[in-house]
Amino acid sequence: RFQCAAYKAFGLKACTNKKTIAESIVKREVIGELRLYAIMITRDIEMLSNEQNEDDPELLQLQQQINGLKKLGDNPAISNAIADLEKQVRNREHQRSIRSSTIKEDKKILYALLQPDFFDSLSNEELRSICIRFISSVKYSGGKELNFSMRAFV
């Protein structure tokens, strides 16, 4: 059985919600919510990946600024400005590659969540780690209904 963690640890001083819910109900609802989340996010990822193939406007603007400064001539202040802009370009490209690799990793997990037998093969600990990655909070106020808050994706 599951219960509010604050109530379980500290009693009525921390939380007045002392209701409990069966583990099987929580597991069924969590799996259902993860599948819905996976459907929504994978659809969004497909649209986002189509848009990401386009050039980054801020990156293009930085490149144009660098090219404009290079045309001005050789001056220590201009050289410093060019070096600063090139550093911004490298940082932007690095952030983009990190975001891309994170999206790829999450995308693999989300596509796995869509497979009908995926959850059957998971241990409780593996399911827990997936829940921690994608679910921000679960609220239970009675009955068999749970309210989920999902983590923002990228």
Q: Is the dihedral of CA 118, 120, 126, 128 positive or negative?
A: positive
Rounded to whole angstroms, the Cα distance separating 114 from 38 reads: 7
pLDDT tens track, the chain, 154 positions: 676 677 777 777 777 777 777 778 888 888 999 999 988 888 887 776 655 555 678 888 988 999 998 888 888 898 999 999 999 999 988 888 887 777 778 788 888 888 878 888 888 899 888 888 889 888 877 777 788 888 876 5
How far is CA 87 from each of CA 52, 81, 90, 92, 93, rounded to the nearest angstrom? 22, 10, 5, 9, 10
The full DSSP string for the chain is -EE-HHHHHHGGGT-S---EE-HHHHHHHHHHHHHHHHHHHHHHHHHHHHHHTSPPHHHHHHHHHHHHHHHT---HHHHHHHHHHHHHHHHHHHHHHHHHHHHHHHHHHHHHHTSTTTGGG--HHHHHHHHHHHEEEEEE-STT-EEEEEPPP-
